[in-house]
Amino acid sequence: ETGVTQTPRHLVMGMTNKKSLKCEQHLGHNAMYWYKQSAKKPLELMFVYSLEERVENNSVPSRFSPECPNSSHLFLHLHTLQPEDSALYLCASSQDLNRGSSYNEQFFGPGTRLTVL
């Protein structure tokens, strides 16, 4: 596998379910990101991890819980979601600022299309 991979590609869940999204990067990067992309809305940055430490959490509801066990893997744990959480969830990675890169070029995975019923 190369680049950034995400599984599953599609997920349908009920509001009472618990599920997890997985992201893996094979680029040797040290920063990872979760974005939410809803129809007709701009990309929303949800979380940023740098060297497995969460460095940014942009007012995301607690029903979304990220986990970064190492610099290659990132998870997004989901529980008691709402229908308005249906969206494309994108993972990205980069070399983080001041740790090997002066600019923040991000590489994206294909996304997980989430539908909450």
Partner 1 sequence: AQSVTQLDSQVPVFEEAPVELRCNYSSSVSVYLFWYVQYPNQGLQLLLKYLSGSTLVKGINGFEAEFNKSQTSFHLRKPSVHISDTAEYFCAVTASGSRLTFGEGTQLTVNP
- Which C-beta is closer to partner 1: that of 16 or that of 39? 39
Q: CB neighbours of 40 closer than 8 A, spacing ≥ 6?
A: none
According to the binding rule CB under 8 A, does residue 63 interact with partner 1? no
Q: What is the dihedral of CA 47, 48, 54, 60, to 10 degrees?
A: -10
According to the binding rule CB under 8 A, does residue 75 interact with partner 1? no
Among 21, 32, 46, 48, which residue sits at the site for partner 1 (rule: CB under 8 A)?
48
According to the binding rule CB under 8 A, does residue 68 interact with partner 1? no
Among 11, 64, 81, 109, which residue sits at the site for partner 1 (rule: CB under 8 A)?
109
Give phi and psi for 83, each to the nearest 5: -55, -30
Which amino acid appears at position 59 of this protein? S
* Cβ atoms 23, 73 nearer than 8 A: yes
* Shortest separation between residue 117's beta carbon and partner 1, angstroms: 19
According to the binding rule CB under 8 A, does residue 104 interact with partner 1? yes
Alpha helices in the chain (DSSP H): none
Give residues in contact with partner 1 (CB under 8 A): 4, 6, 42-43, 45, 48, 56, 88, 90, 92, 94, 97-98, 102-111, 113
